[in-house]
């Protein structure tokens, strides 16, 4: 049931979100992905043929439109365990239109209507805005660190860097997922005795102790800019994040939130 001031189904914050099926719609999504990723023609992260096959097979392919113009698109497919999960492979949106959030909310409703309980996706854990969006706006949680998951990619966003990714799990029935909106953020508690396990110092990563119950893992302010201006520093950040955040997750620690738009909050079990 929708609240009285909720937008109509398929409409989010002035955007119209709908599934894409026709070839011309999929061609538009492909062109949008190429624009966002800065990839050469034919090198989109999700091509027309793949989207056509996934859409025809009943998977999720959707676009967000502003005044009739496509400003965001998302592609997801059913995942294991069967009947429970959807994996969102790619979502791209032009900045400043809240299309990413509109697509995620539409995707959540689509999945719930099909009896699914969870959506997963990967993202670069070094990108602050993505970490803030995934953890603070949506309430998702990183559950696995995946080193060089896609191999080296030479588009504008990845800049030839290793494609380490964090795997997010979004529980569709929890309160943060149900209440996700532009005006709402998921709070995170940082105890006074939290210790910084990775910090930013003069643009470079500095590792700290990891023996506290709660740890902060800081993220560089602009890793994409750093890849263009100082590839060596960007590489240092990749290796440091892999070691610290990846190591903590491998040990069984849990990411509980993203603090102050700059740091993961990680809790370790007493036995971890």
| Other Cβ atoms within 10 Å of 96 Cβ, number | 7
Residues in contact with 202: Cβ distance below 8 Å, sequence separation at least 6, in sequence order: none
What is the distance between the alpha carbons of residues 85 and 63, in angstroms, rounded to a whole number?
21
What secondary structure letter does DSSP report for 158?
Answer: T
pLDDT, tens digit, 9 for 90 and up, residues 126-184? 999 999 999 999 999 999 999 999 986 655 555 566 899 999 999 999 888 888 887 78
Give the DSSP H/E element, type plus range, for residue 123. strand 118-123
What secondary structure letter does DSSP report for 95?
Answer: T
pLDDT, tens digit, 9 for 90 and up, residues 11-60? 655 899 999 999 999 999 999 999 999 888 888 899 999 999 999 999 99
Q: Which of 162, 154, 148, 158 is nearest to 40 (CA)?
A: 154
Architecture of domain 11-178: 3-Layer(aba) Sandwich (3.40)
Question: pTM, whole model, 2 decimals?
Answer: 0.89
pLDDT at residue 2 is higher than 50: no
Domain-by-domain residue ranges, the chain? 11-178, 195-267
pLDDT, tens digit, 9 for 90 and up, residues 76-102? 999 999 999 999 999 999 999 999 999
Q: Which of 134, 174, 96, 118 is nearest to 257 (CA)?
A: 134
Q: What is the pLDDT of residue 151?
A: 82
What is the torsion angle, in degrees rounded to the nearest 10, for the CA atoms of residue 245, residue 246, residue 249 and residue 253? Answer: -30
Burial class of 5 by CB neighbour count within 10 A (0 to 12, 13 to 18, 19+): exposed
């Amino acid at each position: 049931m929708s609240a009285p001031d909720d937008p109509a189904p398929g409409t989010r914050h002035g955007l119209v979100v709908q599934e894409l099926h026709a070839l011309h719609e999929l061609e538009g999504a492909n062109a949008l992905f190429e624009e966002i990723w800065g990839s050469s023609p034919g090198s989109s992260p999700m091509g027309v043929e793949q989207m056509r096959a996934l859409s025809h097979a009943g998977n999720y392919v959707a676009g967000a439109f502003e005044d009739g113009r496509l400003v965001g698109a998302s592609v997801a497919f059913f995942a294991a365990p069967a009947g429970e999960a959807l994996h969102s492979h790619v979502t791209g949106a032009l900045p400043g239109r809240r299309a990413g959030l509109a697509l995620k909310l539409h995707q959540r409703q689509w999945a719930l209507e099909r009896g699914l309980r969870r959506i997963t996706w990967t993202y670069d854990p070094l990108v602050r805005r993505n970490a803030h969006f995934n953890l603070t706006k949506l309430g998702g949680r990183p559950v696995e660190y995946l080193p060089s998951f896609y191999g080296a990619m030479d588009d504008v966003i990845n800049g030839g860097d290793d494609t380490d990714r964090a795997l997010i799990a979004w529980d569709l029935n929890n309160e943060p997922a149900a209440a996700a909106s532009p005006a709402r953020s998921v709070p995170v508690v940082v105890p006074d005795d939290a210790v910084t396990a990775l910090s930013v110092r003069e643009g470079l990563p500095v590792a700290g102790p990891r023996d506290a119950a709660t740890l902060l893992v800081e993220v560089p302010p602009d890793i994409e800019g750093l890849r263009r201006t100082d590839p060596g520093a960007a590489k240092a950040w990749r290796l440091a994040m892999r070691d610290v955040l990846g190591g903590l997750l491998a040990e069984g620690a849990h990411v509980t939130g993203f603090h102050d738009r700059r740091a993961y909050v990680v809790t370790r079990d007493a036995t971890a």
